[in-house]
Amino acid sequence: MNKNNYVAIMAGGIGSRFWPMSRTGYPKQFLDILNTGKTLIQSTFERFARFVPTENIYVVTTDSYRSIVMEQLSALPAANILCEPSRKNTAPCIAYVSYKLAALNPDANLICAPADHLITDEASFEEICKNALTFTANIKALLTLGIKPTNPNTGYGYIQFEPRSVSENVYKVKTFTEKPDRDLARTFVASGDFLWNAGIFVWQIKNIVKAFENFLPEIHEVFEAEKNLLNTDRETEAIERIYPQCVNISIDYGIMEKADNVYVIPASFGWSDLGTWASAYDTLEKDYLDNAVAGDHVMIIDATKNMVHADNKKLVVLQGLEDFIVVDTKDVLLICKKDKEQEIKEYVAEVKRNKGDKFI
């Protein structure tokens, strides 16, 4: 394994669209959403540990999740769990691990990836990641992985790329587009030169640090001022000073949409961001009535096209529903039309207003 290759797994989100299974105190990245026997972060860690040294894998999360990460990723060194004092989107998260690694290894080559994505073709994913690391090790590039779209999904951002490759299966990025409406998404897919934005990035540390300096100078300045305290026993206090001064912004908005050295690798490796219950429905196997069921004792009677998740010890009998999400936990039962799933965040906010934090 190449000792200059590193991974940062971003694991600080709360996964509110997977409520009521995902809770603030125990969000979806630490859950076995699809009943596979492994949590999402465990699958992500194992996927990268096949080709990146374990000591070079970092998890960026919040302090309230540190003990969960330690429990679920027992092979990960405790020092490799980086805790953000507040959630400030992906740019400060990536800056934290980048400036830390810049001091440890100036030749570091880094993959940044979310903890909660599903990838079914892991061999293809590994091959593409290795190709990406080879490309960024030799080219002053900010690279992202783009997923070849299978439908005009309006829940993803899109990446347009130039027709000619600059290297084998590597293309210059033309534009980024945030979540489009249905008609525009259809146009993108039909054109053949747009990809879904998977939010997986690859670059040499020195190049992303330079990009922060150029495009997010306010973040660069605060990390630069405290860099001598990173990788020391005073790192936590330095980060607690840094974060209140950081703007809340994504790496896409802050850097990728502005830089002129952005490239993409088009990929197909069975990817889903598992952002919603409908994405879980799309991923799971269906019965003969097109129901996707996660649960050992779910009985379906005259019901079709439903997403059902229940505890393996509980009997659930479902009759007469079509196109519903049914999620049964020990203290909450959610029954929601699939086409209203984007409103689950609003339902969670309403629950909080009426019932407090007990069910959140």
Give the integer Cα–Cα distance in Å for 251 and 299: 44
Q: Would the pTM of this model clear 0.85, i.e. be above it?
A: yes
> Nearest Cα to 94, choosing from 66, 118, 64, 114?
114
Most confident of 130-134, 163-167, 344-348: 130-134
Evaluate if residue 154 carries a pLDDT over 90. no
Q: Identify the pLDDT of residue 16.
A: 84
Average pLDDT over residues 39-65: 97
What is the CATH number assigned to the segment(s) 5-272? 3.90.550.10
Alpha helices, DSSP H only, in the chain?
40-49, 66-72, 90-104, 122-138, 182-191, 205-215, 217-226, 235-242, 251, 277-283, 344-355
Q: What is the pLDDT of residue 174?
A: 94
**Closest C-alpha to 158, from 182, 136, 127:** 182
Please state the rounded mean pLDDT for residues 137-161: 92
Could you give the CA distance from residue 252 to residue 263 in angstroms, rounded to a whole number?
13
Q: Is the pLDDT of residue 155 over 90?
A: no
- HSE toward the beta carbon, residue 292, CA cutoff 13 A: 18
Number of Cα atoms under 13 Å in the Cβ half of residue 255: 32
Write out pLDDT tens, residues 197-245.
999 999 999 999 999 999 999 999 999 999 999 999 999 999 999 999 9
Q: Sign (positive/negative) of CA torsion 48, 49, 53, 55?
A: positive
Confidence of residue 33 (pLDDT cuts 50, 70, 90): confident
| Average pLDDT, rounded, for the chain | 94
User: Which of 39-43, 251-255, 294-298 has the lowest average pLDDT?
Assistant: 294-298
pLDDT above 90: percentage of residues in the chain: 85
With 90 as the cut, is the pLDDT of residue 279 above it?
Answer: no
Residue 26's alpha-carbon distances to 21, 53, 57, 66, in angstroms, are 9, 27, 22, 11
Within 8 A by CB and 6+ apart from 239, the residues are 83, 84, 85, 96, 226
| C-alpha pair distances (Å), 77 with each of 46, 81, 221, 233 | 14, 8, 29, 16
pLDDT value at position 40?
Answer: 96
- Contact partners, residue 262, CB within 8 Å, separation at least 6: 141, 142, 143, 144, 172, 173, 256
Bridge partners, residue 59, by sequence = 9, 81
- Report the pLDDT value the prediction gives residue 205, as an integer from 0 to 100: 98
Query: CA 90 to CA 12: how far, in whole Å?
Result: 10
Mean pLDDT of the region 253-265: 96
Q: What is the pLDDT of residue 180?
A: 85
Query: What would the pLDDT profile of 66-106 be if each residue is shown by its tens digit?
Result: 999 999 999 999 999 999 999 999 999 999 999 999 999 99
3-class DSSP assignment, residue 13: coil
In the Cβ-directed half-sphere of 338, how many Cα atoms lie within 13 Å? Answer: 17
The DSSP secondary-structure symbol of 322 reads B
Q: How much of the chain exceeds pLDDT 70, in percent?
A: 100
Q: Where are the domains of the chain?
A: 5-272, 277-355
Residue 175 burial (CB count, 10 A) = 11
